Structure 1
Amino acid sequence: MLIRKATIDDWKGISSVHVDCMHAAYQEILPPDVLNKFTYTNRETRWKNDLPNTIRGGTMNFVLEDDDKIVGFALGGTMRDARLRIRYTGELYGIYVHPEVQGQGFGKKLFERVAQHLASIHHSSMALWTFKNHQSCSFLEYLGGEEVYEKNTTVAGNELKECAYGWDDLKAFIPTDNSLNL
């Protein structure tokens, strides 16, 4: 397994992981009409168009490869949410590990890579939004995240709760041995 910075040519692999993760992780949370819009074709078009802009912009994308196949990715950058920006300057926008390779520590490695990147560009803290009671909550708590904020959101006419997890000290994720590879 290798974690590396994403390139503009990674759109197809990222799209595949994104769709498979969304369908596996959000069946009980998101309405079917929302999940049905997460198709390979839709995500491929979006990532092919958006990835070059995010790579040139302030977002950092990392991919997880296994035998030259992308099986995970994570994105991070400057905090976008004004409520959280008071306390957290960095944001983990998303972290996705294909269901076939979850539970092997790769999500943690992607998380750490984003935290290290944010710390390297002078962010001392970060936060992430997820749905309340989603399976990711226990993972985020395992990584030391603290639930710091809740809000209601409406998705396709359904009222859902979101919660933010925060990490106050990104220095804790900087390796002491300068090793960043798996």
Structure 2
Amino acid sequence: MKIRKATIDNAKAIAKVHVESWKTTYTGIVPASYLQQLSVTEKEQLWKRGLQQSKHYIFVVEEDGNVCGFISGGRNRATQGKESEYEGEIYAIYLLKEAQRKGYGKELVKTLVNDFVNDGIHSMTVWVLEDNPSKHFYERLGGKVVNEASIHIGGKELKEVCYGWNNIEDLL
């Protein structure tokens, strides 16, 4: 297992992980019609844009030389609400199903947090669908629910929870 900063050349691999992870994680939660229309090509363009942003942190985890997961984050996008007091935010973290439960997620978070701390970011949040079976990962890392919101995905209203960490250095 190797974790490193993502490059523009990783956009397609990240897009594949993104789409595949949504399909395996959110089946039965997000409408099937929405999951079926997810496109690696569209996500690749999204990730190319993200990889070109200067203060967008994106790391990949590789297993046997192949990208099997990633994490992205940056400054907190909240402009109001309980979660806006946190400086940083995990925007996305996804692992292929076969790469889960190997400690890769925890190592990705630690890598991101290390860069956050080096850049003066000492607290963070992450938004997670309430029905996401992986939400307990954030609880095991010490995240506390600090807010909730509704979100519409594929025409269905879903509930999101926001986990927050006041001192992310505890994660290192």
Overall identity of the aligned pairs, in %: 36
Pair 1:87–1:52, CA change in 2 (3 A) = closer
User: Unpaired segments of 5 or more residues in structure 2?
Assistant: none
Counterpart of 1:40?
40
Counterpart for residue 178 of structure 1: none
Paired residue for 2:135? 137
- Quick one: structure 1 residues 40 and 170, their matched pair in 2 at CA, closer, same or farther if it must change by over 3 Å? same
What is the alpha-carbon distance in structure 2 between the residues aligned to residue 127 and residue 163 of structure 1?
A: 10
Q: In the alignment, which residue of structure 1 is the partner of 2:125?
A: 127
RMSD across aligned positions (CA): 1.5
Residue 83 (structure 2) pairs with residue 78 (structure 1): no
Q: What displacement does 1:21 show?
A: 0.4
1:91 aligned onto 2:122: no
Q: How does 1:1-182 map to 2 (within 5 A)?
A: 1-48=1-48, 50-54=49-53, 57-82=54-79, 83-84=81-82, 86-174=84-172
* Contact 1:126–1:170 (8 Å) recurs in 2: yes
> In 2, distance between residues paired with 1:127 and 1:12?
26
Distance 2:15 2:165 in 1: 28
Aligned length: 171
CA distance in 2, matches of 1:137, 1:51: 24
- Conserved 8 A contact 1:61-1:73: yes
Structure 1 residue ranges, 4+ long, deviating more than 3 angstroms after superposition: none
Give me the whole-angstrom Cα distance separating, in 1, the residues matched to 2:8 and 2:44. Answer: 12
CA shift at 1:60, angstroms? Answer: 0.6
Q: Which runs of 5+ in 1 are unaligned?
A: 175-182
| TM-score in terms of structure 1 length | 0.88
Larger deviation, residues 126-135 vs 76-85: 76-85
